[in-house]
Amino acid sequence: MLVVKNISFRYDKTRVVDNISFKVKKGQVVAIIGESGSGKSTILKLIYGEKDLEEGRVSWCNKKILGPKDKLIAGHEFMKHVTQEFDLMPFTTAAENIGSHLSNFNPEKKKKRISTLLNIVGLSDCANTKVLRLSGGQKQRVAIAKGLAAKPEVLLLDEPFSHIDSYKKRTLRRGLFDYLKSNQISCVIASHDKNDVLSFADYVAVVEEGKIIAAGTPEDLYKDPVLPKIAAFFSDFSFINGKIYYTNQIKIVPNSKQKAIVSKNYFNGKDYIVEAEFESQTILITSSKPIKKNETINIRFDK
């Protein structure tokens, strides 16, 4: 089990990680979500031992993770950290990058392992392409495969799909997280994308200014977001009389004492988001069809 207990860290005099604690069981996926600058990436660096803790402790299977003061070279054999900078060798091929963490003792076994990982990240046709010729999204996928190459017990992912095209992300997410689960690899992912979290994380910690402001399963946080900024992570919403309503929780009905005036429509693929004015504030409603501007509609709030 990976245990992060009461860790804190500051740059100069500014505390950017403040008393963070959580646990990751074998094979679990824990997501750290929050806005840019909230401390997500720094938390991963502290877990990896890239920076020294000001307070607290990080351990894996009761073994303390050491920082630069106690360990000259950051990192551990059982843990890999996939950063936003990719950490690739640009003048070698995708296959050579992935294989750089693998032993040459059994060339056939190494070749098979590289082929498996290229297939997981959807880059089999780029095996012999030099990294400098790959797109940002392709480089990110090579970095993920490289992180998996030596079969780590813990994988740290920092915004792992941020450079990847939307139509590629869906397949890659499913393949990657299925692989992690089936191989019992513990994962901590820092992300600002709900699609990295909702279907795949076992536990989510919401971070703001280095502190955890909410934590729980994705389903619990979605159903009871507590704060508007948490609801905003998952979906469009309206904040009315101190309550949070997602767009599908405001219904358009034939008759109601509560009325709103339509101002705009946004097509989102399967339906429309209708923007309307209700009691001098803007609300958002899911509708199966667009509604004419300035039309008065009857609404009902469901929780």
Q: For the segment 95-110, what is each residue's pLDDT rounded down to a tens digit?
A: 999 999 888 899 999 9
Question: What pLDDT, on a 0 to 100 scale, did the predictor assign at position 84?
Answer: 86
Q: What confidence tens digit (pLDDT) does each residue in 228-252 have?
A: 999 999 999 999 999 999 999 999 9
pLDDT band at 57 (very low <50, low <70, confident <90, very high): very high
Q: Which two tokens stand for residue 53?
A: 């803790």
Q: What confidence tens digit (pLDDT) does each residue in 169-183 have?
A: 999 999 999 999 999
Does position 87 have pLDDT exceeding 90, yes or no?
Answer: no
pTM: 0.92
Question: What pLDDT, on a 0 to 100 scale, did the predictor assign at position 73?
Answer: 80
pLDDT band at 188 (very low <50, low <70, confident <90, very high): very high
Supply the angle between the helices 136-148 and 107-120 in degrees, to the nearest 10: 130
| pLDDT, average across residues 62-77 | 86
Does position 63 have pLDDT exceeding 80, yes or no?
Answer: yes
Question: What pLDDT, on a 0 to 100 scale, did the predictor assign at position 166?
Answer: 84
Does position 140 have pLDDT exceeding 90, yes or no?
Answer: yes
Q: What percent of the chain has pLDDT over 90?
A: 84
Question: What pLDDT, on a 0 to 100 scale, did the predictor assign at position 13?
Answer: 86
- Phi first, then psi, for residue 245 (nearest 5°) are -130, 120
Question: What pLDDT, on a 0 to 100 scale, did the predictor assign at position 10?
Answer: 94
Question: What pLDDT, on a 0 to 100 scale, did the predictor assign at position 125?
Answer: 95
Longest dimension (CA), the chain: 76
3-class SS of residue 63: strand
Which has more confidence, 71 or 5? Answer: 5
- Alpha-carbon Rg of the chain, whole angstroms? 23
Q: What percent of the chain has pLDDT over 70?
A: 100
Contacts of 223 (CB under 8 A, 6+ apart): none
Average of per-residue pLDDT values in the chain: 94
Q: What confidence tens digit (pLDDT) does each residue in 12-28 have?
A: 889 999 999 999 999 99
Does position 72 have pLDDT exceeding 80, yes or no?
Answer: no
Does position 33 have pLDDT exceeding 90, yes or no?
Answer: yes
Are 271 and 285 in contact by the 8 Å Cβ rule? The answer is no
Does position 303 have pLDDT exceeding 80, yes or no?
Answer: no
Supply the angle between the helices 166-182 and 136-148 in degrees, to the nearest 10: 0
HSE at residue 204, side-chain half, CA atoms within 13 A, is 26
Are 118 and 94 in contact by the 8 Å Cβ rule? The answer is yes
Q: How many CB atoms lie within 10 A of CB 234?
A: 17
